[in-house]
Amino acid sequence: MLSKDLTKLIGEAMKAHDEIRVSTLRLLLSAFNYEQIDKQHELSDEEELVVIRREAKKRKEAIEMYKKGNAPDRAQKEESELKILQKYLPPEMSEEELNHLIDESIKATGAVSIADMGRVIGYVKEHAPGVDGGKVAEIVRGKLK
């Protein structure tokens, strides 16, 4: 479980004078603590992954906003934090694997139109929990018309 190792990792980052890593890991530890208080039990590995994915998603959204707002320095900081968080996530599905899973889900759910999009996305998320919902929706829209 990552939450037990975070204090040690923060200490190592402090010794290395890696300020971005220190702040990112502290924010992650804080997010774990809030989630643990909310759930009122020790977090499982899967629950920790959900928290890390949520934090990574926040960084991706912030990067997009800063780029639109013409603040490249802030976007770069968020990208650095995202890279740190991604080290603790399993590798993402390739585009080819995702397309295959979406095709499989369309067949399995019997989807024929865009009205069936929710069922297809639900099936995909059930079989690949960490997949980016926005990316899935975009591909499904292209396949179901």
For 52-87, how does the pLDDT look when each residue is reduced to its tens digit (9 = 90+)? 989 999 999 999 999 999 999 999 999 999 999 999
Tell me how far apart the alpha carbons of residues 87 and 110 are, in angstroms, rounded to a whole number: 37
Reported as a pLDDT band with limits 50, 70 and 90, residue 20 is: very high
In angstroms, the Cα distances linking 75 to 11, 21, 68, 80, 84 are 26, 16, 10, 9, 14
- Tokens 């200490």 appear where? 11
Domains of the chain, start order: 2-86 (1.10.1510.10), 95-143 (1.10.10)
Reported as a pLDDT band with limits 50, 70 and 90, residue 124 is: confident
Single-letter amino acid, residue 17 = H
Tell me how far apart the alpha carbons of residues 141 and 109 are, in angstroms, rounded to a whole number: 15
Write down the pTM of the prediction.
Answer: 0.75
The tally of CA atoms less than 13 A away on the side-chain side of residue 32 is 21
Pick the range with the lowest mean pLDDT from 29-33, 54-58, 109-113: 109-113
Tell me how far apart the alpha carbons of residues 4 and 25 are, in angstroms, rounded to a whole number: 12
Please compute the mean of the pLDDT values over residues 116-145 and round it to a whole number.
83
Q: Does residue 95 surpass a pLDDT of 90?
A: no
Pick the range with the lowest mean pLDDT from 67-71, 96-100, 132-136: 132-136
